[in-house]
């Protein structure tokens, strides 16, 4: 089920990690609303499949830029490139992440930095790159992605959970610093969303049964459940919301 947000029609939207999982649901959802959508990812094959699917379904072509978001120096140029194609960015969705598992004992300085680079730092550098255009327009919505994993204390995710907790601080700091520029900054915190990667790598049928037992909402949560919250935060219907965290977890925490 979806709502139509007329103010999103024609807006320029940048989604990080948009080729698969929740990010792909977000790209689909914005295309369906009539937005001009660009996305970053490293998975070129998945990106091409998504573009083909959306072109077939909606007759529009989202703009893809292959980018490893750990390369912070490359972010401003990549944002300029996508903006040249779709227009000055109105809405940024910082979605990309990688939930690798490591025991704390196995993490050295390099892995620690990589964990924060892939899960946290690009949120800041993408926000910094789109902010001047938003300031000039006097409006913008930035949506960062956290995770219930740090609230639940799930095992072997120390760099990921540290980053995801940091994203809440980042969200509140930027919301305050840019509050005079008309830029709203919020976080979305998904629960256990059954993306392909989760089902392939981590979640067994028994796990899923246990998860639904723990949720107040007794069904499988999917990428589109999260995309609907992102649309709400992108639209002016949420114009009173900034500096907050919106949990989409079926009530598991
Ligand atoms: N799926 C869940 O249950 C869940 C739960 C809590 C939070 N989240 C959060 O939701 C967001 C999306 O999660 P998901 O489950 O869809 O993840 P996913 O792994 O299915 O997709 C992540 C996307 O980011 C891309 N990506 C990874 N590293 C990248 C890099 N260095 N540069 C560019 N792109 C890169 C991947 O190629 C992929 O397309 C993430 O921020 C994640 O932490 C997901």
What is the Å distance from ligand 1's center to 8 Cα? 24
Q: Among the options 5, 64, 150, 160, which is catalytic?
A: 160
Statement: residue 1 has pLDDT above 90: no
Ligand 1 centroid – CA 95 distance (Å)? 6
Give the CA distances from residue 45 to residues 147, 182, 240, in Å, rounded to whole numbers and listed in that order.
Answer: 26, 37, 39
Total domains in the fold of the chain: 1
> Could you tell me if residue 243 is inside a domain?
yes
Q: Does 123 map to a domain?
A: yes
Residue 3 inside a domain? The answer is no
Average pLDDT, the chain: 98
Q: Residue 21, exposed/middle/buried by CB under 10 A (0-12, 13-18, 19+)?
A: buried
Q: Helices marked H in 101-157 — which ranges?
A: 109-116, 122-137, 149-152
| Contact (CB, 8 A) for 150 and 164 | yes
Q: Is residue 95 within 6 Å of ligand 1 at its C-beta? A: yes
The reported pLDDT for the residue numbered 12 is 99
pLDDT tens digits for range 37-81: 999 999 999 999 999 999 999 999 999 999 999 999 999 999 999
CB atoms within 10 A of CB 53: 14
Q: How high is the pLDDT of residue 66?
A: 98
- Per-residue model confidence as pLDDT tens digits over 150-199: 999 999 999 999 999 999 999 999 999 999 999 999 999 999 999 999 99
- What letter does residue 224 receive in the DSSP assignment? H
Task: Classify residue 232: in a domain, yes or no.
Answer: yes
pLDDT average, residue stretch 100-126 = 98
Of all protein residues, the one whose alpha carbon is nearest to atom 42 of ligand 1 is 97
Task: For residue 136, report the distance from its CA to the centre of ligand 1, in Å.
Answer: 30
The range of the structural domain enclosing residue 73 comes to 8-191+222-248
Q: Does some domain include residue 198?
A: no
Alpha helices in the chain (DSSP H): 21-32, 44-58, 75-86, 109-116, 122-137, 149-152, 158-177, 196-201, 205-214, 223-234
- Residue 142 confidence (pLDDT): 99
CATH number at residue 47: 3.40.50.720
Kindly state if the Cβ of 141 falls inside 6 Å of ligand 1.
no
Cβ of residue 220 lying under 6 Å from some atom of ligand 1 = no
Q: Could you report the per-residue pLDDT of 190-245, keeping only the tens digit for each?
A: 999 999 999 999 999 999 999 999 999 999 999 999 999 999 999 999 999 999 99
Query: Ligand 1: distance of its center to the CA of 230 in Å?
Result: 15
pTM given for the model: 0.99
Between helix 122-137 and helix 75-86 the angle, nearest 10°, is 40
Is residue 160 part of the annotated active site? The answer reads yes
What is the pLDDT at residue 248?
98
């Amino acid at each position: 089920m979806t709502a139509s947000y007329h103010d999103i029609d024609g807006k320029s939207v940048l989604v990080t990690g948009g080729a698969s999982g929740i990010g792909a649901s977000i790209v689909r959802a914005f295309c369906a609303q009539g937005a001009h959508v660009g996305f970053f990812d490293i998975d070129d094959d998945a990106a091409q499949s998504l573009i083909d699917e959306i072109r077939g379904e909606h007759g529009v072509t989202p703009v893809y830029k292959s980018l490893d978001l750990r390369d912070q120096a490359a972010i401003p140029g990549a944002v300029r490139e996508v903006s040249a194609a779709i227009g000055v960015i109105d809405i940024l969705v910082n979605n990309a992440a990688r939930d690798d598992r490591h025991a704390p004992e196995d993490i050295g300085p390099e892995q620690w930095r990589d964990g924060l680079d892939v899960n946290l730092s690009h949120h800041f550098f993408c926000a910094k790159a789109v902010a001047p255009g938003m300031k000039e327009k006097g409006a913008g919505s930035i949506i960062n992605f956290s995770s219930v994993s740090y609230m639940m204390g799930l095992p072997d995710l120390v760099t990921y959970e540290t980053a995801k907790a940091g994203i809440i601080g980042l969200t509140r700091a930027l919301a305050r610093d840019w509050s005079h520029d008309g830029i709203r900054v919020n976080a979305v915190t998904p629960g256990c969303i059954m993306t392909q990667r989760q089902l392939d790598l981590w979640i067994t049928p028994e796990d899923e049964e246990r998860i639904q037992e723990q949720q107040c909402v007794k069904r499988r949560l999917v990428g589109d459940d999260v995309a609907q919250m992102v649309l709400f935060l992108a639209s002016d219907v949420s114009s009173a919301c900034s500096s907050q965290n919106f949990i989409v977890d079926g009530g598991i925490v």
